[in-house]
Amino acid sequence: MNEMPYKTYLSENELPRAWYNVRADMSEKPAPMLNPKTLKPVTTEELEKVFCRECVKQELDDTTRYIEIPGKVRDFYRMYRPSPLIRAYFLERALGTPAKIFYKFEGNNTSGSHKLNSAIAQAYYAKEEGLEGVTTETGAGQWGTALSMASAFFGLKCSVFMVKCSYEQKPFRREVMRTYGADVTPSPSMETEVGRRINAEHPGTTGSLGCAISEAVEAAVSRPGTKYLLGSVLNQVCLHQSIIGLETSAALKKLGVEPDVIIGCAGGGSNLAGLIAPFMGERLRGGNACRFVAVEPSSCPSLTRGRYAYDYCDTGKVCPLQKMYTLGSGFMPSASHAGGLRYHGMSSTLSALLDQGYIEAMSVSQTEIFEAATLFARTEGTLPAPESAHAIKAAISEALRCKREGRSENIVFGLTGTGYFDMFAYGRYNDGKMEDYIPTDEEIAKGLAGLPNM
C-alpha cells in the first residue's frame, strides 16, 4: 500500500539508555517548589519525608541533561518498549488530508497508558531504598494500574486512593489493580484525616485528584517503610516520560521526517512533557521551528483559563506549592466529566514553557473528543482513551487545516492509551447522553480566589 511502514519499531538495543531532562536546556528555569509552611524553597530533607531519595534528587536537578536509566528499569521497559510510532494512513485517507499524521502509541501494555514508564522507575527507586510499600492516588485509573503492576514486579505493597467517581464508574479498573495485589480505596475516604475533613466540608463529593493526593500523602507519612509516589505533574515524572519523546525522535529520524507540529493531551502534563522533551530541547538550543500544542478538556481548563501562579499541589494543602497554571487547588471538575485530565494544575516545567511562549494551549469539549475517538477507532482500529482523544481531536483539526491550506505538514501526536476501561463513558456517548460542561466565569473566579496570597 505505501512505502513508509505503518508501524515503526526501534529495536530493543535502540531503547534509550538515559532520560532527558529538558530543564537543563531552559535558560529561564521553572520556579522552585515552596514549603507550604515556610513558603521557602523546599529542601531535599523536607521532600525525602514524602518521596524516595533518588526521586527527590531528580526532582530538584535542573542542570543535568541526561540521567541514566537503571538496568532493571530498562529490563522492564523491554517488556513493552520501544513502543511503536504509527503512520495514521487510514485516518489520513478518511480526512482526505495531504498532511502526514503520526502517533506514538503508548497503550500496548496492561496499564493501558504511558504511566508505566514512570511507575516502574519510581517503584525501582522505592525498592532500592529498602521500602516496604508505596501509596498513591489515581484519577482515571491508569496511574494506579501502572503503579500496581510496577509494585507487583518489585514485591512492594501498593495502596491506591482512587477518585470516587472513577472508582464507581470503573469497577474493572479497580479489579485489575487488585489482581496485581494492590489495595484500592475510594477517595475522599474516611481512612485519613484529610479525607474525613473533605467529606465533612463537601458531603456527597465525587472527589478530585487534588483530594486523593492529600489522602495518599497522609497515608504514606503515617505508615512506616512507606513513601508516596505521584504519576504526573512532578519534574521526575516528566523526566521518566522523556523516553516517549526520545523514541519518537529516533523513529522520525529513521523515517527522515521533521515534525511541523507535536500535539499532546495535558492533565498534569507528564505525557506532553515527555513527548515533546527532546524536540523542545532542540528548540531551546535554537534547532527547530516545530510547534507544540497542549490540549486540555474545556471542563478543567488550567492552561487556557487558569492563572500562572504559586498554588498548592493538593486540595488538603499538605503538599508543596508550585508555580504553575492552575484553577485553584479547590477546583473540582463537574461530575459529568469523563476520563482523566482532571487536575487543577499543571507541571511547573510545562507551565514555564507555556509562559515563555514555547507552547500553545487549547481546550476541547468532551462530546468533540468522543466524536474524534469514534472516528479514530473505526479507521485506525485502536479504541483510544478519552484523554488521548483530546490529542486526536486536535490532530484532526490540524490535518483539516492542512487540507484547506493545501499543505503537507508532518503532524505528530501522542496516543497515550486505550479506552478499554472507559466504556461507561463511551456508552453515554453512544446513547447520546453525554453532556458538555464548561465552567462559568464565576466558577473559574471562585477557584482562583482560593489561590494563596503571595
Number of neighbouring beta carbons within 10 Å of residue 448: 18
Query: Shortest gap between Cβ of 106 and a second copy (angstroms)?
Result: 12
Cell of 204: 456527597
Query: Shortest gap between Cβ of 426 and a second copy (angstroms)?
Result: 5
Q: Which is nearer to a second copy, 5 or 98 (CB)?
A: 5
Which residue, among 185, 189, 272, 176, has the nearest Cα to 233 in the 3D structure?
272
| Contact call for residues 134 and 157 (beta carbons, < 8 A) | yes
- Residue in 380, 387, 398, 409 binding a second copy, rule: CB under 8 A: 380
How far apart CA 58 and CA 196 sit, in angstroms, is 33
| Contact call for residues 389 and 365 (beta carbons, < 8 A) | no
Cell of 15: 531503547
- Residue in 71, 190, 225, 356 binding a second copy, rule: CB under 8 A: 71
- Residue in 32, 66, 90, 360 binding a second copy, rule: CB under 8 A: 90
Percentage helix, strand, coil for the chain under 3-state DSSP, each rounded to 5: 45, 15, 40
Q: CA triplet 235, 68, 150: central angle to 5 degrees?
A: 70
Query: Contacts with a second copy in 117-156 (CB under 8 A)?
Result: 149, 152-153
User: How many of the chain's residues bind a second copy (CB under 8 A)?
Assistant: 46
Q: Which is nearer to a second copy, 205 or 374 (CB)?
A: 374
Give the 3-state secondary structure of residue 369. helix
Measure the N-to-C terminal CA separation of the chain; round to a whole number of Å. 60
Buried/exposed 168-180: b ≥16 CB within 10 Å, e otherwise = ebbeebbebbeeb
- Residue in 49, 178, 253, 407 binding a second copy, rule: CB under 8 A: 178
Query: Shortest gap between Cβ of 371 and a second copy (angstroms)?
Result: 12
Please tell me whether residue 180 binds a second copy under the rule CB under 8 A.
yes
Please tell me whether residue 70 binds a second copy under the rule CB under 8 A.
no
Which residue, among 387, 315, 270, has the nearest Cα to 163 in the 3D structure?
315
**CA dihedral of 300, 303, 307, 313, whole degrees rounded to 10:** 70
How far apart CA 228 and CA 403 sit, in angstroms, is 47
Please tell me whether residue 110 binds a second copy under the rule CB under 8 A.
yes
Query: Shortest gap between Cβ of 375 and a second copy (angstroms)?
Result: 10
Please tell me whether residue 312 binds a second copy under the rule CB under 8 A.
no
Judged by CB under 8 A, which stretch of 176-184, 190-198, 270-278, 315-323 contacts a second copy? 176-184
DSSP 58-101: HHH--S-SEEEPPHHHHHHHTTT-SPPEEE-HHHHHHHT-SSEE
Which residue, among 55, 447, 368, 40, has the nearest Cα to 240 in the 3D structure?
55
How far apart CA 63 and CA 286 sit, in angstroms, is 18
The conformation of residue 433, written as its DSSP 8-state character, comes to: -
Q: Which is nearer to a second copy, 222 or 430 (CB)?
A: 430
| Contact call for residues 385 and 109 (beta carbons, < 8 A) | no
Q: Which is nearer to a second copy, 43 or 108 (CB)?
A: 108
Q: Which is nearer to a second copy, 17 or 78 (CB)?
A: 78
Please tell me whether residue 289 binds a second copy under the rule CB under 8 A.
no
- Residue in 99, 101, 176, 239 binding a second copy, rule: CB under 8 A: 176
Q: Which is nearer to a second copy, 71 or 225 (CB)?
A: 71
Please tell me whether residue 6 binds a second copy under the rule CB under 8 A.
yes
How far apart CA 65 and CA 20 sit, in angstroms, is 6
Judged by CB under 8 A, which stretch of 17-25, 77-85, 226-234, 285-293 contacts a second copy? 77-85
Binding mask 422-451 for a second copy (x = CB under 8 A): -xx-xx--x---------------------
Query: Shortest gap between Cβ of 395 and a second copy (angstroms)?
Result: 17
Per this entry, what is the length of the chain? 454
Query: Shortest gap between Cβ of 387 and a second copy (angstroms)?
Result: 16
Query: Shortest gap between Cβ of 110 and a second copy (angstroms)?
Result: 5
Please tell me whether residue 29 binds a second copy under the rule CB under 8 A.
no
Residues in touch with a second copy (CB under 8 A): 1, 5-7, 9, 11-12, 71, 74-76, 78-80, 90, 108-110, 112, 149, 152-153, 171-172, 175-176, 178-181, 374, 377-383, 418, 420-421, 423-424, 426-427, 430
